[in-house]
A and B are shown apart, each in its own frame.
Chain A
Amino acid sequence: MSSSLTLERWREIDTILQIALEREPERRDAYVREACGGDEPLRREVASLLAAHDSAPGLFLERPA
Chain B
Amino acid sequence: MTTPSTPLPTPPRVTELLRAWNAGDSLASETLAPLGSAELRRQAKLALRREGEGHTLQTTALVQEAWLRLDGQHDASWESRSQFFAVAAQMMRRVLVDHARNRAAAKRGGAAARVTLERVEAVHEGESSLDLVDLVALDDALHRLAALDPRKAQLVELRYFAGMSIPETADALGMSQATVGREWAVARMWLRRELAG
Binding site for B on A (CB under 8 A): 1-2, 5, 7, 10, 14, 17-18, 21-22, 48-50, 52-53, 56, 58-61, 63-65
Contacts and interface: CB of A to CB of B under 8 A. Distances in A.
Contacts, number: 88
B193 A48 contact: yes
> Would you list the 4 A-B pairs with minimal beta carbon distance, nearest first?
A1-B197, A64-B163, A52-B192, A52-B193
**Range class of the B interface residue count:** 35 or more
Contacts of A50: 189
B182 A60 contact: no
B182 A18 contact: yes
B189 A5 contact: no
B contact face: mostly helix, strand, loop, or mixed = helix
B39 interface: no
Contacts of B197: 1-2
Contact of A64 (B47, B182, B188, B191): B47
Given A60-B130, A65-B160, 11 more contacts: A14-B149, A17-B185, A18-B186, A49-B189, A64-B43, A64-B46, A64-B47, A65-B92, A65-B96, A65-B133, A65-B163
Nearest to A11: B149
25 contacts: A1-B193, A1-B194, A1-B196, A14-B149, A17-B185, A17-B186, A18-B182, A18-B183, A21-B182, A21-B185, A49-B186, A52-B190, A52-B196, A53-B192, A60-B131, A61-B156, A61-B188, A61-B191, A63-B122, A63-B124, A64-B46, A64-B161, A64-B162, A64-B163, A65-B46
Contacts of B185: 17-18, 21, 53
A44 B96 CA distance: 35
Candidate in A22, A58, A63 with the most chain B CB atoms within 10 angstroms? A63
B107 interface: no
B126 to A, nearest CB: 10
Interface in B108-129: 120, 122, 124, 127-128
B144 interface: yes
Interface in B169-197: 182-183, 185-186, 188-194, 196-197
Contacts of A48: 193
A60 B159 CA distance: 12
Given A59-B131, A63-B131, A64-B160, A14 B186 contact: yes
B50 interface: yes
B92 to A, nearest CB: 7
